[in-house]
A and B are shown apart, each in its own frame.
Chain A
Amino acid sequence: MSAASGALEATEALIALVLLGISVWAAAFALRRSASVLTDAGTSALRLTLLALGVGVALRLLAPPLLATIFIGYKQTAQAATLLPISHYGVGSQALYHALFALFPVDHRVLIAANTCLGILTMPLAAALAARLHRDPRAATVMAWLVALTPLFIRNDTSEANNVPALFWLFGGLLLLEQHLATRRPFPLLLATPLLALAAIARPEMPLVVVATALAVLVSARARPRWPLLSVAACLFAAAITPHVLHIVGAITTLRSADSLPGIESAELARLPKRLLTLATPLKLSLFPLGVTAAAALALVLPGAAPRRVAWALALAAVIALAITALDLDHANMARVHVPAALLLTLIAAGALATVAGHIPRPALRGLPLALVLATALPSVATLWAPTNEAAEERLIQAAEAALPDGEFLLLRPGSEDGRKRPQSRFTHYHFPDYLFLPPARDAMVRPLSGFIQAPDFFVPTWFFRGMRCYADFRPRGEPPPPGSDELPACRAMAERFHLDPVIEWELPNAGDVWIDYYGDAPTLTVGLYRVSPLDSPAERP
C-alpha cells in the first residue's frame, strides 16, 4: 500500500465511520417510516404483513448459518478485523463488521449474525417501499411474503455476504428518499443521503445500483421534486462516495493488469447479453422462483395504481445490477451477487401480484397468485441448502476449535503455499479462519504445511487440520473430476512423515462440486484434527 493509496483508504474508512454513526439514526427513522407505512395499510393487511414478517424472522433464525462464498468469508473476516488495507469490494460493510469487532470477537459467525439481524430489518423496509412505489398498500403484504419466503434471500441473509448490510442501507435510504418526495420535507432527505452513500460504498457495483434505484424512486414521485435540495444531497452523496469510486477504479485497473477481470474487456463485453442469459440468477429455477421473474415482467405491461414507468425504472436498475456483476461472475457466486437484482425484481413483482390480486373478486383466492409464484421457489431449496464440502469444513473448524486445548500450540493447515503447481491451481481458495486460533482468541500459531514439513519443529504442541482443502484443487468448469480423493501432496506428506494421532476424524460423504469444481470423485473424504509428533517418538496424547 503506497502512501497515496494509504491516504485514500484511510479517507474511505473515515467517511464510512461518519456514515455509520449517522446511519444509526437514519436507519431508526427509516424503520419508523416503514412501520408508519405498513400501519397505514389497515388492520387486516397489517396483520398479514406482520405474519409474513414473523415467518421471515423465524425462518432466518432457524436456517443454518452458512458461508455464501467459497471460503472467502474467512478472508473477508480477517480483512474486516483490520479494515486496512480495504478489500477491493469497498469499505461500507467491512466498516460495519470492523466496528462490531469492538464488541465481539473476530469471527465470521459475528458477520453472519449481523447479517441475519440486518436481513430481518430489511424486510419491513422493502415491504413499505413496495407499498409506496406501487401506490398500493397490498404490495407491502405481497412483498413481505415474497422476501420472507424466497429461499435465496433467506440463504443470503444467513450468510456472510457483504451485500446484506448494503441492501439494508439501500432500502432504508430509498424509503426515506420516497418520504422526502412525498412530504417535500428536507429531514428525510438529510437521513436518506448517508444511508444511500453507505450502501454505495459497500460493494463495487453499488454506486450504480444506488443511483439507478434512487432515480427509480424519483420517477415515482407524485409531486414536483425540490430540485435544489436534491442537488445538494446529490453533491454530498457524490462527495462521500468519490474515494470509493477511485478505489474501485484502482482495483479494476489492478485486476485488469493481472488479467483477472476478463469480463470488462471489449470482446467479453460484446458477449455480455449472452452471459447474462446463462448466468442471471433470476432466470435459474434452481436458485430463484421463476414466478417472481415472470411477475416482474408482467408488471412492465400491467397497468396498476402507479405509473408503469416506475416498474420500468426499477427493471432498468435490476438489469444494471445484473449486468455489472456479470462482468466478473462465476457459477460459484451467482447466488450471492445477484441478490440485489433479485430483490429489485421482487419489488417490481410485488406490484404486479398486488394488482392481479386486486382483480380477483373472491377474497379467499386473492392470495393464489402469490402462492403460485412462491411455489416456484421450492426447487431452489434443494440447491441452496445442498450439502457441500465447504460447509463440512466449517463444521470441522468449529469442532477443532472446541477440541484444541488451551495454551500455546501450533496449528498446521493447508495454505496457498501448499497448493499444487498447475496453472489453474492458483484459483483454489486456501483462506482459513486463522483468527479463531491466533492471539487474542487463542494462543496459537497457524502455519501452512510445506514449511513445517521441510523443517519440522515441535517446540509447542502441534496439530494438523486436515480439512476439505486437502482434497481441493480448482479446475475449469466442465473438466471431469480427478479420480479418487486427489489428496493434496502436502497433506499426504503430513501423514507419511509424521505420526498423526487423531483427535477428530470424520469420514464424510464427498458432496462434490456443488458450487465450484474442486474435488475428486471419491465417494468419501477423510477429514480431521490430528496431534502431530515425530514418527520415531511416541505420540504424546493431549
Chain B
Amino acid sequence: MLSGLKARLVIAALGLLGSAPALAQQQLVIPPGQERLLGAMVGQGDVELAGCRMRRAAVQKGYVVVEYGCPGSDAAVRLVLYPPTYTGEVAARTEKFALAAAPGTTLPAGLADAVAERIKKGERRWYWLEVQGEIGANAPIEPTAPLPPEKAPDGAELDPELVALFERGLKLYSEKRHGEALALFLDLAAKNPRFGGTLGMVVANLAPTHPDAEGVAAYTDKADAAPDDLLAQFVAGVAAHYSAHYTARTPEQKRALYETSIRYLERTRPAFDFEPRTFIYLGVSHYRLGHQEQAEALIEQAVTIGDQDPDAYYCRAEIMHRTNTQRALSDLDKYLEMTEKFRAAGGWVADTKVARVKAMQAHLRRVEAGEEKLVDIFDPLASDTPTGEQALGAQPEAAAAIAEPPPLPAQPLPVEVLVRSPERYGQLVLLAALGFGLILGTGAWLWRRRGARPS
C-alpha cells in the first residue's frame, strides 16, 4: 500500500529539502525510497501485531502515523513513529524510532512493543535525513502530535482503493501499456484529481500515445460535450499540446494545436491550479507561439507550485534559454540535481534525457563562451522554437515563425548511450583487443602451418 505513494513521498521529502528557511536548524526527516521498508516494519499486509492489523498509514515530513484495527475496538488505533530524538512521552523505543500513541488513542496492550519488535528487525536499513528545518524544529516535532486528517487535505491519498488503482496503473506504465494505464489513471483522477501524482501519470501515459489530429478531436469533443468536466478539459489541452509536439506537420497545424491546448487548459483554471503541469503546458504552448511574456509568467507559476518537479525547471530553461541563458543553465543544473537526488532515492531516471540535458548544458555553455552559435536544442520541438525576434514579431508573420516539419524527439542513439559509459566502452576496447589478438594468433598459426607444409 505504501509503495503506491512513492511519488508523493518523494515530492514531500524533497519539498522539505528545498524549502529550508533562512534561519534554520537541523531536523530529521523521512527521505524518499523507504516506503517498502516502512510498510514491512509497521506490519503492512497480512500481519497481526498484538491482535491488531494495519489499516493505513500517513507519512509526514518528520513522522509517520500508522492506523491499526484492533479486535474489540471500533475506534481506530493510531501509533506515531517519531525520530529517536523525540523527547515526548513514548510507548516504546527502538534504535531509530520513538513510538508514541496519537492523541486520543489508547494503545491496546502489547501493540507498541509488538510493532517495536517488528521495527527492530528491519530498521538497520532505515535512515533519517538530516536537513535544515525551521527554527524550533529541534524541539519535539509538533509535541502535541496532531494527526494528519483521516483524509489528507489534498484528497485522502490513503484510500486503499485509490492506492491499489495507482499501483496497478504504475505497473501498466512500467510495462509500457500506456493506453490501459491512461484509462486507469483517468478513472482514478475522475475519482480524485488531487490524488498525489495522478495527473502527472495521466500526462505520462498520454504523451507516448502521440495523439494525432483525430485523437485530439476526440478529446476536445468529449471536453466540449461536458464543459464542467475539468479533467476532460485538462486531457484535451494536454493532448493538443503533445499532438503539436509529435504529429503536426505544418506550422498552421502546430499553431492551431497550441492554441487549442491553451484554450482547454485555461478552462481548468483555477480548479487545477494545484497542478504544476497546467502551467507547464500553458507556458510552453505560449512560448512556442511566440508569447514570451505570458510564457515566462506561467512558467514562473509552474516553478512556484511545482518547485520539486524537475520538469518545471527543464521547461523554464527552454523558455528562458534565448532571453536568459544563465538562468536556463542554472535551471538545467537544478533539473539534473533533482533527478540525481531522485535516482539516489531509488527512483527511475531516464538516462537518455539526463544525457540530453547535459549535452544541452554543454552547448549553452559553449554559446556563452562564444564558441558556438545557439542552435535549437530543446526537442521535441527543436526547429520550431520561435527565435526571440520572431517571437516579438508581428502576428501576421507568426505562422512563419514556426518551422516545419516538427522533428520527433532526438533521443540519443543506443550506441551513444553505450559509448558514454566508461565501463562498457572499456569492456568493448578489451573485446576488440582480444578479437584482434585472436585474429593475429590464428593468422600466425596458419602462416606457420603453411610454411611447415612440404612444397
Contact = CB atoms under 8 A, between A and B. Distances in A.
Interface in A252-268: 254-255, 257-260
B248 to A, nearest CB: 19
Contact of A82 (B22, B355, B373, B435): B355
A274 B226 CA distance: 79
Interface in A431-479: 439, 445, 447-448, 450-451, 456-460
A133 B289 CA distance: 67
B344 interface: yes
B131 A459 contact: yes
B132 A459 contact: yes
Nearest to B428: A17
Nearest to B23: A537
A83 B410 contact: no
A22 B419 contact: no
A9 B427 CA distance: 19
Given A84-B412, A101-B426, A451-B330, 9 more contacts: A20-B433, A25-B433, A25-B436, A102-B426, A259-B370, A260-B370, A416-B368, A457-B18, A458-B24
B365 interface: yes
Interface of B: 17-18, 20, 22-24, 131-132, 326, 329-330, 333, 337, 340, 344, 355, 358-359, 362-363, 365, 368-373, 375, 410, 412-413, 415-416, 419-420, 422-437, 440
A223 interface: no
A273 interface: no
Nearest to A428: B369
Nearest to A450: B326
A380 B20 CA distance: 55
A14 B132 contact: no
A85 B371 contact: no
B423 A20 contact: no
A417 interface: yes
A321 B415 CA distance: 34
Nearest to A83: B419
A460 B369 CA distance: 31
A447 to B, nearest CB: 7
A81 interface: yes
Contacts of A6: 410, 412-413, 416
A542 to B, nearest CB: 14
A385 B106 CA distance: 77
Contact of A416 (B22, B340, B355, B369): B369
B422 A426 contact: no
A2 B373 CA distance: 14
A537 B23 CA distance: 7
Contact of A417 (B329, B358, B370): B329
Interface in A1-47: 1-3, 6-7, 9-10, 13-14, 17-18, 20-22, 24-25
A298 interface: no
A260 B18 contact: no
A448 B432 CA distance: 41
A98 B428 contact: no
Contact of A2 (B330, B410, B433): B410
B429 A10 contact: no
Contacts of A9: 416
A257 B372 CA distance: 8
Contacts of A456: 22
A402 interface: no
A24 B329 CA distance: 40
A458 B436 CA distance: 54
A364 interface: no
A106 B422 CA distance: 9
Interface in A53-96: 81-85, 95
Contacts, number: 134
Interface of A: 1-3, 6-7, 9-10, 13-14, 17-18, 20-22, 24-25, 81-85, 95, 98-103, 106, 254-255, 257-260, 416-417, 426-427, 439, 445, 447-448, 450-451, 456-460, 534, 536-537
Contact of A445 (B24, B337, B422): B337
B436 A21 contact: yes
Contacts of A258: 370-373
Nearest to A537: B23
Contacts of B436: 21-22, 24-25
Summarize A's interface: helix, strand, loop or mixed.
helix
Given A254-B371, A451-B330, A101 B20 contact: no
15 contacts: A3-B413, A6-B412, A6-B413, A10-B415, A10-B416, A21-B431, A24-B437, A25-B440, A254-B371, A255-B371, A258-B371, A416-B369, A447-B333, A457-B20, A459-B132
A203 B214 CA distance: 52
A251 to B, nearest CB: 9
B410 A458 contact: no
A459 B14 CA distance: 11
Contacts of B329: 417
A6 B440 CA distance: 33
Contacts of B435: 21
B433 A536 contact: no
Nearest to A87: B362
Contacts of A439: 340, 344
Contacts of A255: 371
Contacts of B430: 21
A512 B202 CA distance: 59
Contacts of A426: 368-370
A257 B413 contact: no
Contacts of B371: 254-255, 258, 260
Nearest to B372: A254
A450 B416 CA distance: 33
Nearest to A407: B130
A509 B371 CA distance: 33
B340 A84 contact: no
B18 A459 contact: yes
B132 A458 contact: yes
Nearest to A20: B429
A521 B435 CA distance: 58
